[in-house]
Amino acid sequence: MSMIRFGKKQNNPVGMRRVVWKTPNVTADGLKIFACAVMLIQSAGIVIVENGLIDLSQYTQAELSKALASSADLMTLAGIGSMMQIIGGLGVPIFAFLLVEGFLHTSSYRKYLLTMLLFALLSEIPYDLAMYRKVWDFTGQNALFSMIICLLMLYFLRMARERKGFLSSMFQGLIVLTAVFWVSFFRMNCGLCLVLLTAVFYLFYSRNVLKTVLGVLISLLYVTGPLSFYGLWCYNEVRTDRFPKYAYYVFYPLHLLILAAVTIIFL
């Protein structure tokens, strides 16, 4: 990515230095590492702090408010847990962006989808253990299922875009609404924001201003989400992985399983 320079290029007085701003070059691998890091922070905030140290399941809403008001330590823990979840919101736009990039550049959509499905199934028990302390719970589904819905949505959006006109636009809107319905119905983690961001990143792929404005507005669902667009702006389209691509798939169930084990055994 080229440098962004501010200041005059000519008639530079002796001894005076031009102000040169250089934007970092962020690869797909860099985005993945950052997204996984903030996801780990968010998961630790939920599993270790809220489910473990505070144990929110023992309180009703009224009891929790009373306990927080009477205990400074509990209030501090609650604040730390909330901040960790807010940090985790930085990862959602990045995951949506990478999902679209993967869809557009994959050599095999079927393999991409089946790999996502396999790891979504493998992640469900670690997710339930981490979030609900149960081996199997239908209260909510892990975020990889949200990504599967997004991949299916992208497949049908691509089909719809092959046709032009008003009916094509209506069909695309219906596809997005259907995806929103399924992630909401099954209470999939990050579902609504992931679906909407994925749709925006794909449908307005070459319209950078509109894509950014809509993406920032949707990302406000996670408060810190808009800050991620700086990293996306610095993306240099280099997709060479520092780690094997499957390492990122393995990271999701593995980090949930470790956090669940720590909470169950030690807290």
Per-residue pLDDT of the chain (267 residues; tens, 9 = 90+): 333 333 344 455 444 455 555 678 899 999 999 999 999 999 999 999 999 999 998 999 999 999 999 999 999 999 999 999 999 999 999 999 999 999 999 999 999 999 999 999 999 999 999 999 999 999 999 999 999 999 999 999 999 988 888 899 999 999 999 999 999 999 999 999 999 999 999 999 999 999 999 999 999 999 999 999 999 999 988 887 678 889 999 999 999 999 999 999 998
pLDDT at 45: 97
Residue in the block written with tokens 């780690």: 243
Q: Torsion over CA of 236, 241, 247 and 252, rounded to 10 degrees?
A: 0
Distance CA 92, CA 98 (A): 10
- Tokens encoding 262: 């720590």
Answer for the pair 211, 200: CB distance below 8 angstroms, yes or no. yes
pTM: 0.89
Half-sphere exposure of 240 (CA within 13 A, CB side): 1
Q: Torsion over CA of 215, 164, 160 and 205, rounded to 10 degrees?
A: -30
* SS3 category, 21: strand
Residues 157-185: b if buried by 16+ CB within 10 A, e if exposed: beebeeeeeeeeeebbeebbeebbebbee
